[in-house]
Structure 1
């Protein structure tokens, strides 16, 4: 326990610096910066106290790593909600609403309780967008870069935080080297996205794409989040900007380590043999064609516009970003069910994506095929392979455990939303409850009906908002760390 609290304190101390950026924006906009400065002070003091109380710490182990992951992802959104409360933001003046919005930001979910994003002050709007970028991968990589400096092993956090069941081969001899490379990739993709979107505005191809809008959309796309600086998501952007965002989301859904190998090390042949990457790109293409075909059949859109909207929505939902160019709440049953199915796909392991992720689907398919073959040939030795590598029994067990826990959490979340909605007049439909639970647990964000891409979670009761906030947290930490902490045996040792 002391080891974990000391690490949490060290991470909070570094997290305090994140509030300097919105404080600077507040000063530039003529707004009071004290909500961010007070929060930064509170975070720094909390981190210093935890570090002082724990004293010297031995290396971090796997057990402590689970606690660090859960504690950080509980405390960071809690502190992240403080500026909304201290700044007296009208739409986020209730603690549950502020925590919901902050958790949605840091977990890169994109669900919102705001009904008028345009009413936010510039500093609060910037902080809301900045939480996406920090939560997408910034906190993960920062943690891995800082821990070795404190002489605390970070490899356990690498295994716990980078999503996906298969450990990726290291790019460097140390965790610090791997973290540095991940950080560079994340920064490079973000910078490229901002420059491309800003260039579209400067060239006159999208008049509304100023520098702040370019920053907002690019950081949300790279973090696979979904927050936007207005209420229209990506609906009013120029077609060329929508195509640019579509490509940026697809790139951000790649494994960061694979992206480094492709862009920097030029290991094209090795990356091309990655079965997860091939399946990811194939699913994106098939999903785009299916959604576009459904839009054509329903007469919603036609021609090249239909191709663009179909591809954009398929990529946005599958990568768990949550941007929208059309209100999919108005679509027919088939197209709606297609989007619901895509919410369970996710992007590649090692990206900022939520949901189950492509590699787990690949492992499950190979495992199911192996079991069917062994039913006919019980004496055959048939290892499960992914990208030519044998997937061991521990990995198979972890994949099965995660999927079972994921579906269990989805069922409990849906039931809880339905019960809370049933206590209110009118309530919400069972499908809306299922969509909201799937969207928040999968870190997609927008759901269906009044909770769709141009709607808001504001009409829900406070109990439902707290439940959905918990589902966002579970989806971001991939359930298992919290499930481990809830076991009585964890606290006995």
Structure 2
């Protein structure tokens, strides 16, 4: 326990530095920077106090690593919500709303309680976007890259922090070196996105794409978050900008380790044999065709613009980004159900994407096929293989347990939202409630109905917002760390 608290303190002390950037933006825009400075000071004091109280600590083990992950992902959004509350930001001055927005930001979910994004000043808008970018790859991964003292036990933190089952042998010799490689790829993709979008603005192809908007949309696309500095998401952007964002989301949905192998190490064979990557691209293509066919059949879209809208929305939902060019809440049954199914798919493991992840679906499919073949040939040795490698029993159990916990969390969350809707004043329908739970647990953000891509979660009661905040947290830490902490045996050991 003492080691875990000490590590949490070190992480919080480092996190305090992040508040300097929005304070500078606020000062440059003529806004008061003190909400960010006070918040940063509060984080720094808390972190340093925890470090001092814990003193010298033994190495971090797996058990304490779970506590660190949960504590950090509970505390960082809490401190991240402070500027909204202290600055008395309209629509975010209530602690529940502020914590919902901050949790949505750091978990790269993109759900919002704002009904008027334009009411926020540049400083608050910048902070809102920065929470996405910092949370996309993870606060802990960044800390592992810059804080050498976290190298003890850091491998367990990295294992817990990276979304999806990641091959630990591919993480390299040192944890710090691996974390730095991940952040280099993340920074490179972000910089390329900002530059590409800014060039569209400078060339006049998209007059709305100034430097601030280029930064905002690029960080949201690369973190697969979905927050935007404008109320209409990506709807008002030029077609070429929407295509660029679509490409950024596709790239950001790829395992960052695979991107490193491809771009830096030039290991094309390793990438070409990745079955998860191939299935990810196939699912994007097939889903785009299915959605496009219905949209064309209904007369919702036509021409090349229809292809763009179908591809953009499919990529946005499957990568759990949540950008929108059209209101998918008004689409037909087939397209709507396709998007709902994609909310349970997610992108590749090792990316910033939420949801179950493509590789887990692949493992579960292969495991199911294995069991069916084993029933016919009970004495045959039939290993489960993915990308040419045998999937060991712990990995199979892990994928199965995660899928069951995911469905359980979805069921409980949906039940809680339904009960609150029945007793409250929102009157949300069954599909809206299910969609909201799936979107927040999968870190997608927008759902259907009044909480659709151009709606807001503001009409929901505080209980529903609390449930959805918990689902966002569960989706980001992938349930298991919190489930472990909730076991009585964990605290007895």
Q: Could you tell me whether the CA contact under 8 Å between 1:58 and 1:152 is conserved in 2?
A: no
Cα deviation, residue 235, structure 1? 0.2
User: Residues 145-183 of structure 1, C-alpha deviation per residue, up to 9 Å, x if partnerless?
Assistant: 245334532000111111112424335321111111111
How many Å apart are 1:487 and its aligned residue?
A: 0.1
Q: Distance in 2 between matches of 1:484 and 1:144?
A: 23
SS where residue 51 of structure 1 aligns? helix
How far residue 138 of structure 1 moved from its aligned partner, in angstroms, is 4.6
Aligned to 1:479: 479
Q: Does 1:440 align with 2:437?
A: no
The 1:426–1:262 alpha-carbon spacing in structure 2 relative to 1, beyond 3 Å, is closer
What secondary structure sits across from 1:92 in the alignment? coil
Paired with 1:147 and 1:165, the residues of 2 have a C-alpha distance of 24
More displaced, 2-11 or 423-432? 423-432
Answer yes or no: is the 8 Å Cα contact 1:144–1:176 preserved in 2.
yes
Equivalent runs, 1:246-395 vs 2, <5 Å: 246-395=246-395
Partner deviation per Cα, 1:413-439 (whole Å, 9 max, x = no partner): 101001001012451101100000000
Q: Is the 8 A contact 1:8 1:50 kept in 2?
A: yes
Q: Which moved more, 1:151-160 or 1:360-369?
A: 151-160
Paired residue secondary structure (1:321): coil
Residue-pair matches, total: 493
Structure 1 segment 100-111 matched on structure 2, within 5 A: 100-111=100-111
> Structure 2: any 5+ residue segments left out of the alignment?
none
Larger mean CA deviation between 326-335 and 239-248 belongs to 326-335
Q: Distance in 1 between matches of 2:366 and 2:194?
A: 39
Could you report, residue by residue, the CA deviation over 1:290-345 in whole angstroms, capped at 9, with x for unpaired residues?
A: 11111111110011111000000000000000000000111112111111001001
Deviations 1:72-118 (A, max 9, x none): 00000000000000001011011000000000000000000000000
Alignment correspondent of 2:412: 412
Q: Look up the match of 2:159.
A: 159
Distance 1:392 1:148 in 2: 32
Q: Equivalent residue for 1:58? A: 58
CA shift for structure 1 position 58? 1.4
> More deviation in 167-176 or 227-236?
167-176
SS in 1 for 2:169: coil
Partner of 2:85 in structure 1? 85
Partner in structure 1 of residue 38 of structure 2 = 38
1:174 aligns with 2:174: yes
Q: Please, which runs of 5 or more residues in structure 1 have no aligned partner?
A: none
Q: Secondary structure at the match of 2:246?
A: helix
Q: Is the 8 A contact 2:90 2:119 kept in 1?
A: no
- In the alignment, the residues of structure 2 paired with residue 128 and residue 363 of structure 1 have an alpha-carbon distance, to the nearest angstrom, of 36
Match of 2:8 in 1: 8
Q: Give the secondary-structure state (helix, strand or coil) at the position aligned to 1:276.
A: helix
Q: How far apart in 2 are the matches of 1:309 and 1:25?
A: 34
Deviations 1:101-147 (A, max 9, x none): 00000000000000000010110111001100000015142122245
Q: Show CA shifts across 1:179-218 (max 9, x none).
A: 1111100000000000000001111110110000000000
Change (3 A) 1:197 1:382: same
> 1:213 matched to which residue of 2?
213
Aligned equivalents of 1:23, 1:425: Cα separation in 2: 38
Q: Conserved in 1, the CA contact under 8 Å of 2:66 and 2:485?
A: yes
Q: Deviations over 1:394-414 (max 9, x none)?
A: 111111100000000000010
Equivalent-residue separation in structure 2 for 1:158 and 1:181 (angstroms): 13
Describe the SS at the equivalent of 1:31: coil
Pick closer, same or farther for the CA change 1:150–1:273 going to 2, 3 Å. closer
How far apart in 1 are the matches of 2:269 and 2:374?
A: 33
Q: For residue 235 of structure 2, what is the aligned residue in structure 1?
A: 235
Query: 1:453, CA displacement in angstroms?
Result: 0.3
Q: C-alpha distance in 1, partners of 2:116/2:151?
A: 46
Kindly indicate whether the alpha-carbon contact (under 8 Å) linking 2:62 and 2:153 is maintained by their aligned counterparts in 1: no
Contact 1:13 1:48 in 2 (8 A): yes
The runs of at least 4 consecutive aligned structure 1 residues that moved more than 6 Å come to: none
SS state at 1:228 partner: coil
Query: What is the Cα-based RMSD across aligned positions, in Å?
Result: 0.9
Matched residue, 1:186? 186
Structure 1, 415-424 or 168-177: larger mean CA deviation? 168-177
Structure 1 distance, partners of 2:32, 2:481, is: 39
Q: Residues 481 and 150 (structure 1 numbering): CA distance in 2 closer, same or farther, change over 3 Å?
A: closer
Given that residues 109 and 445 in structure 1 are in contact (C-alpha distance below 8 angstroms), is that contact kept between their aligned partners in structure 2?
Answer: yes
Partners of 1:104 and 1:138 in 2: how far apart?
13
**Cα distance between partner residues in 2 of 1:299 and 1:30:** 48
Tell me, in whole angstroms, the C-alpha distance in 1 between the residues paired with 2:43 and 2:173: 33
Aligned to 1:468: 468
